[in-house]
Amino acid sequence: MFRIVHTFTLVGARPERVRVEVTLRRGTPGIRTSGLSPTAARHAVERIRAVAAGLSLRIPGLRITVNLAPADIPKTGASFDLPILIGILAASGSIPGDRLRKTALVGELGLDGSLRPVRGILPMALRARGEADLSTLILPEANLSELAGVPGRDSLGAGSVADVLSFLARRAELQRPGPAPACHPVRVPELADVRGQATAKRALEIAAAGGHHLLLSGEPGAGKSMLATRLPGILPELDPEESLEVTSLHSIAGCLGAGSPLVRLRPFRAPHHSVTVRGMIGGGTVPRPGEVSLAHHGVLFLDELTEFRSPVLESLRAPLEQGVVHISRSGSTTTYPARIQLVAAMNPCPCGFRGSPADRCTCEDWQVRRYVSRLSGPLLDRFDMRVEVPAVRWQELRAEPAEHEFTVHRRARVELARSAAAARSSLRRAPPADPRRPEAAPVRRNADLSPPEVRLFCEPDAAGERLLKRFVPALGLSARGCDRILKVARTIADLEASETVRAEHIAEAVHFRHGWRPPRGGTSAFAGSSSGGPC
């Protein structure tokens, strides 16, 4: 007899539908699989036999062939255990097959017949929601919390194989996802706790409003890390579409704890400087998302930037430009989204006190040059804004913050600026480079504007044009550097509710990219970082 059971697998962040085809015929008894990696197939068969014996389920002594189609999709993991077992039982006539026609199953088997949770249930459930010929997705009960509040077709949770068999025989019902849990306010670090640093706070607000990459440099204890950790508090919450994307990635990576609802706050990832390329970008024998993808639609913070290994830092260049990560393996390529905002902090020299008013630096000039040379010009060129964070003076440390310095007020200004950018982008879109390609979704952040969109949305007025014309040759700006200045200027104009990019907006944007003096006794950490050469 021949039966088909539907299931899903993940290829990177993309769920793919899989047909589990089971046929029984005379021949040497045994279970043979195709379309599944040999190791995964061998382990799955062992688990299926053990569970069937423990539950007194009859597996016929025939030649059982299981094919997972399509064959060109890489399939690994234990999520195929349940659909393979149910397919064998249906093909042998042990269970009715009428309810299987519109039902998909996903789950790993425990040797006691229980169903164990699997990674990536949320994207699978969203894919099942879009399949017209499927009405039900059966999944492990422990995964139901990931679907709380997610609209769509029926997703049912089972605690064991026995529960699934009772449901298919119409003897019992399975558990459904609960309602979305109440959204309790999350306490975020208060920006006003950082005393002084008016210029750095202004830069943080601009970076949040436009999604611009930010580099902070200053001596130890100046407040660089405190500023960075307060950035998520002034960012707007994820919209429903972004929330599903972020939650799906965390589900694939196994980062969602038990009972975790949809992720509403923007991710903030701060890996240690000992992280490897695979940990940062993703990978492995079975590719998994790295820190860059787990920070999708959020912030990736690299503290002590110069302590990260050079290959790790250079691996960020492509994701910062493309917004995706491609992981190539033999015969397949896995893609994960990585639309991030990069924030980094560093000391100006090995001892950290270069340029300090107290002149406490003990580093030689050659030590400073070697220290700063750990960062390549192309990487530095990808930072839209670079801010020196000086030591806080005693008067600023003891002063009470003004009302407009608090997180709630800065967040309100950021939300208004982002709304203006989204509205402008949705009303007037730049034509796609290829007329045959469909138009892309509206850009939510000024940092994501393409070169044609920069020319369309960021053109300065006459005075701003003259100022930019003077700055470009004087600073040796690359084409990318010029575009990034225009994007930051557009964000500054949005914060001031200005329709036009004026000269003062250009001047401030240039200041945040090239407005530093070399520290006394040597080269500045940012000197010569405009990267006018090829990237």
Residues comprising the chain, all counted: 535
Q: Rounded to an integer, what distance in angstroms lies between the CA atom of residue 111 and that of residue 53? A: 10
Q: How confident is the model at residue 513 (pLDDT cuts 50, 70, 90)?
A: confident
Q: Rounded to an integer, what distance in angstroms lies between the CA atom of residue 337 and that of residue 193? A: 34
Least confident range from 30-34, 160-164, 330-334, 461-465: namely 330-334
Task: Based on DSSP, count helices (H) and strands (E) in the chain, helices before strands.
Answer: 20, 18
Entry pTM = 0.84
Question: Distance from CA of residue 193 to its chain's centroid?
Answer: 28
CB proximity list for 353: less than 8 A, separation 6 or greater: 219, 220, 360, 361, 362
- Per DSSP, the residues of 452-497 read HHHHHH--B-HHHHHHHHHHHHHHT--HHHHHHHHHHHHHHHHHTT
The domain ranges of the chain are 2-168, 191-430
CATH number of 2-168: 1.25.40.10, 3.40.47.10, 3.30.230.10, 3.30.420.40?
Answer: 3.30.230.10
pLDDT at 438 over 60: no
pLDDT at 462 over 90: yes
- So what's the pLDDT on residue 352? 80
* pLDDT greater at residue 526 or residue 503: 503
* pLDDT greater at residue 451 or residue 153: 451
- So what's the pLDDT on residue 532? 36
Fold of 191-430: Rossmann fold (3.40.50)
- So what's the pLDDT on residue 535? 30
Q: How confident is the model at residue 436 (pLDDT cuts 50, 70, 90)?
A: very low
- Per DSSP, the residues of 190-246 read -GGGS-S-HHHHHHHHHHHHHT--EEEE--TTSSHHHHHHTHHHHSPPPPHHHHHHH
* Tens-place pLDDT, residues 470-501: 888 888 888 888 999 999 999 999 999 999 99
* Tens-place pLDDT, residues 7-17: 999 888 889 99
* Tens-place pLDDT, residues 149-170: 676 558 899 999 999 999 998 8
* Token pair of 491 as six digits: 């964000």
pLDDT at 346 over 70: yes
CB proximity list for 161: less than 8 A, separation 6 or greater: 51, 55, 57, 82, 85, 109, 113, 114, 115
- So what's the pLDDT on residue 259? 58
* Token pair of 438 as six digits: 């469909």
In the block, residue with structure tokens 């690359």: 478
Least confident range from 191-205, 246-260, 473-487: namely 246-260
Q: How confident is the model at residue 506 (pLDDT cuts 50, 70, 90)?
A: very high
Q: Rounded to an integer, what distance in angstroms lies between the CA atom of residue 287 and that of residue 476? A: 41
Furthest-apart CA atoms within the chain: distance in Å:
89
* Token pair of 12 as six digits: 């990177």
CB proximity list for 377: less than 8 A, separation 6 or greater: 528, 529, 531, 533, 535
Q: Is the dihedral of CA 414, 416, 421, 426 positive or negative?
A: positive
Average pLDDT for 348-375:
84
Per 3-state DSSP, the chain is made up of helix, strand and coil in percentages (nearest 5) of 40, 15, 45
* Tens-place pLDDT, residues 72-96: 888 888 899 999 999 999 998 888 8
* Token pair of 393 as six digits: 């003076």
**Which amino acid makes up residue 187?**
R
pLDDT above 90 covers what percent of the chain?
41
CB–CB of 339/321 below 8 Å?
no
- So what's the pLDDT on residue 521? 42
pLDDT at 246 over 60: yes
* Token pair of 278 as six digits: 């695979």
pLDDT at 305 over 90: yes
Least confident range from 57-61, 89-93, 321-325, 501-505: namely 57-61
Question: Is-same-fold flag (2-168; 191-430)?
Answer: no
- So what's the pLDDT on residue 286? 76
- Average pLDDT of the chain to the nearest whole number: 85
pLDDT at 249 over 70: yes
Rounded (5°) CA angle 517-314-432: 95
Least confident range from 19-23, 313-317, 472-476, 481-485: namely 472-476
- So what's the pLDDT on residue 260? 62
